[in-house]
Amino acid sequence: MVNVRLPHSSDLPELDIDATGLEEAADWLSRSARDFTDRAGDMDSHWSGLSGVFTVNGTDRIYSAFTPGVEVAEDYSQAMRSAASALGTFAIAVALLKAQRDELDNEISALRMIAVAVEAQDPDYPSFYSDASVETMAWDLKGRVADLSDRFGYAEDACILALGTITGGTGHGLPSPGSLGQLGIVPATGMPIWHSQTDLFASSTSDRALNSLTYLGTLTSAQVTRWLASHPEFLEAMDDMPPDAGEVAAWWHALGSSAESASDGQLALIAAVPSLVGSLEGVAYWGRDKANRLRLTEAIEIERKRLAMYNPRLEALENIVDALGPNEQISPRLLASLELGDRPLAAITVGDLDRAAHVNYQVSGMFSGTDKMTDAVADAAALYQAEMIWADALGIDGEIATVAWIGYDSPDLLSVRHAESATLGAAKLEQALGGFGAVTDARGTDPFLSVHAHSYGTTTALIALQQPLGVDALAMYGSAGSEGVRSVEQLEVDREQVYVSTTSPDGLAAFGRLISGRGDPDSDRFGAVDFGSDGDSIDPVTGQAFVPISGHTEYLTEGSESLRNLALIGLGRGDLVTKG
């Protein structure tokens, strides 16, 4: 019998904002801005044109009288265009959230049907549905319903914040957004997360943030704390619109190039504002590790004080601690990223990510989460050890690092058939890989970067790698299918360096593709190199027999054909993989 209250459609927010009306308002502002600028320019042109037919000594100032007016007009026009961008972004957010609300409504209905079938022990339902799995899915849905409400509030706040802070170069700004009720926008609490990357003021905002960071890098920890207390908007602005990762990396590297050469300014920032240092793409990973460990310790202390009988957030945070392990390990482990939401996210590296010549990001699949971080890091460690062995055998120099990347909310049995988690996860993977590229560029290094994606992680990675992110190789195994990517030609990865494998006993991968209708990257049409994972042969290099694997979660088993091939791909020696 299910012991948790099942979510209901009435729990979902109404979202009764008129997105079409917002789009029309944004369009009107854009058109008005263009018209305003054109009219002012025409008036200035006609007035100053008098000098061509009527000239009197000392009247130059008269003919240029409209110039300040044109500058003010351009100021107002820029503010109107920025307002149009803010409203347009909010309209997009509302439309997306409404679609997600409808999807959640369908999932709630489906879960309630499953709960009835489980209680009735309906033989038509798969055996993996049980009271426990229904409770897990119920908790997940309740969290996503709450998250939807939060994100709607954040989107409102971001729009209001953008409108309320728009000013032109001469200080002429828009009026206070108190009349926004006419557009159906009601202020909500929370930190804004929605923003348009194409706002006209984004560049200047980024510059101001970087200037502030440069200044903070010269202060002591106590001075940083005092400055932040007098500038409370700074951290919100950094979260909403962080500076370019490349500029951050150059700034951080100039302060100190490693943990051994860390400057007083770097250490002061880590101590005073670990939430900023730990989450800022472009900061070297030794710095993010120190900052994120401070954040993790503080978060665990807070959760332990709650004294809740069931605290999945605390369970996940403590599992991250366990995954980091003792300090005396042979290979260093760095907490490269940490998001402290209701469902914490993290990335832990095995090996020194700042110095490695071969780096591999492992993208997790369905049911992965930081509550299983020890398992993810164990897989990363297994790949790390295999790569070390092969690097020694093949004479490949340079350090190695593998990254257990639990950087997005993975789906469950209800949501795995949809691409929403993959789309959101792909955006986060792009940020992570972009940040890594910025750090290596600042150091002047060019490591071999590979992405290994498992199960639904392949769906996520394929969406992300349509962008140029500096990835040298992609390996997919046990794929849950491709969403929108039909061929290796659509990827920003060398087609000869895209690999795929599905072991014969892996029925879950095929089930995922079947219920979702996604394409199979293991098909000939897709064009990836098919590597072996069945383990029914011997290693052509060592002559040793492979350890066979028997399912969806065993691809990284020690001695297996799949682990051997994944290690070679990560070292840039895909030419040595056994064929599937």
Kindly write down the DSSP assignment for every residue of 346-409, as one continuous string.
Answer: EEEEES-TTT-SEEEEEEP-TT--GGGHHHHHHHHHHHHHHHHHHHHHHT--S-EEEEEEE-S-
Q: What is the pLDDT of residue 182?
A: 34
Q: Which domain covers residue 32, as residue numbers?
A: 9-183
Calpha distance 229→158 (Å, rounded): 22
Calpha distance 478→502 (Å, rounded): 5
In a shared domain, residues 167 and 111: yes
Query: Considering the domain boundaries, does residue 292 fall inside one?
Result: no
Query: Considering the domain boundaries, does residue 277 fall inside one?
Result: no
Cα angle value 245/248/251 (rounded, 5°): 150
DSSP 529: E
Give me the half-sphere count of Cα atoms (radius 13 Å) on the Cβ side of residue 564: 27
> What is the gyration radius of the CA atoms in the chain, in angstroms?
27
Calpha distance 1→72 (Å, rounded): 69
In a shared domain, residues 164 and 215: no
Contacts of 98 (CB under 8 A, 6+ apart): 15, 19
Contact 281, 434 (CB under 8 A): yes
pTM: 0.67
Q: What is the pLDDT of residue 381?
A: 96
Type of residue numbered 448: F
In a shared domain, residues 141 and 233: no
- Given 123, 151, 183, the domain boundary residue is 183
In a shared domain, residues 483 and 443: yes
Total number of domains constituting the chain:
3
Query: Considering the domain boundaries, does residue 45 fall inside one?
Result: yes
Q: What is the pLDDT along the chain (580 residues), one digit of tens a residue?
A: 555 577 777 788 777 677 677 777 767 767 776 666 666 656 555 555 444 444 445 455 544 544 555 555 666 666 666 677 777 777 777 778 888 888 888 888 877 877 777 777 655 555 556 777 777 777 777 877 887 877 777 777 667 766 665 544 333 333 333 333 333 333 333 333 333 333 434 455 566 778 888 888 888 999 999 888 888 778 887 887 788 899 999 999 999 988 888 999 999 999 999 999 999 999 999 999 999 999 999 999 999 988 777 889 999 999 999 999 986 677 899 999 999 988 999 999 999 999 999 999 999 988 899 999 999 999 999 999 999 999 999 999 999 999 999 999 988 767 777 888 999 999 999 999 999 999 999 999 999 999 999 999 999 999 999 999 999 999 999 999 999 899 999 999 999 999 999 998 888 887 778 778 889 999 999 999 999 999 999 999 999 999 999 888 899 999 999 999 999 999 999 999 999 8
Query: Considering the domain boundaries, does residue 287 fall inside one?
Result: no
Token pair, residue 157, equals 């706040």
CATH number of the CATH domain containing 568 = 3.40.50.1820
Query: Considering the domain boundaries, does residue 412 fall inside one?
Result: yes
In a shared domain, residues 260 and 157: no
Give me the torsion for CA of 68, 71, 72, 75, rounded to 10°.
Answer: -170
Query: Considering the domain boundaries, does residue 468 fall inside one?
Result: yes
In a shared domain, residues 213 and 258: yes
Query: Considering the domain boundaries, does residue 122 fall inside one?
Result: yes
In a shared domain, residues 18 and 49: yes
Query: Considering the domain boundaries, does residue 326 fall inside one?
Result: no
Strand partners, 452: 362, 475
CA distances to 243, 283, 320, 373 from 345, rounded to whole Å, are 22, 18, 9, 9
Calpha distance 274→267 (Å, rounded): 10
In a shared domain, residues 131 and 225: no
